Amino acid sequence: MESRLTIQNIYSIIEYMIRAMKRGNMRSRLTDHLIDAILHGELRPGDRIVEGKLARQLQVGQSTLREALQELEHRGLVTKRENRGTFVTKLTTKDVEGIYAVRLELEPLAASLAHSRLTPEHAARLNHFVDMMESARLRRDLFEILRNDLAFHQHIWKLSDNTALERALNLVCAPLFAFYLLRISSGAPAYDFNKDAYDFSRDNQEHYALLESLKKGAAEDVRQSFREMIEGFRVRHLRHVQSVESTRDAMAVPEIQPARAAETPAAKEDLIP
């Protein structure tokens, strides 16, 4: 009898583990789906996410959706407001300044640690990311530029072999990359790729220079190179964000007050693209 119960317990544990794995896979796919929706502007900065409605639309359980939203909150992509709900994070120029204040301290440190662990294979991988950025620039594919740009930096953070540092940089910087893209793709329909507000060609050349510094420079030289380059990224990112915001403000059509009054708060808050 004791043996049969033990076997039953084992089967119960196995069944539980299988269910947990399936749930984990579903959560991972759902998280990726929501990130994709944010990156492509289907969920826009400031949008309220109504869990019940979105769960029905995606045909998933609310508990699974809640877990996916917790992951997005950890990445800084959504924000929970007490007694108001969950919203897609809306970054301001002040937020971008704050992100770079942290990035300027942490990423040069990560690069100096990664320097001693860089192998030819790692260098080839980093070079591949920048090659992909340049290829995407020639195709004017902004999404691919930023995706490979983030992958380049994440690879360096991982090479630092410091889990706390890698986690902090992912938490701080991932929203910057995501919402920098959003400010262009969904925030400015008339965005001109050739504008001087952000020089993608120069950015790519600087990434090649960062890689050369990692391969050949001393640890302190690597740290200084990354700090100088990231300061340049900060200036150009801010200039570009301000340009997009100015364009959007100039294109905005003043709302008619009576029509505004006719809107119901529920209709506006419950909107899910």
- Give the Cα separation of 9 and 13 in Å (integer): 6
> Is the separation of the CB atoms in 222 and 213 below 8 Å?
yes
Q: What are the pLDDT digits (tens) for 164-205?
A: 999 999 888 877 776 666 655 554 444 456 654 357 888 899
Per-residue pLDDT at 113: 96
> Is the separation of the CB atoms in 193 and 140 below 8 Å?
yes
At 244, the pLDDT band (50, 70, 90 cuts) reads: low
Per-residue pLDDT at 198: 52
Q: Name all domains of the chain by residue range, CATH numbers in brackets.
A: 2-90 (1.10.10.10), 93-251 (1.20.120.530)
At 133, the pLDDT band (50, 70, 90 cuts) reads: very high
User: 0.85 cut: is pTM over it?
Assistant: no
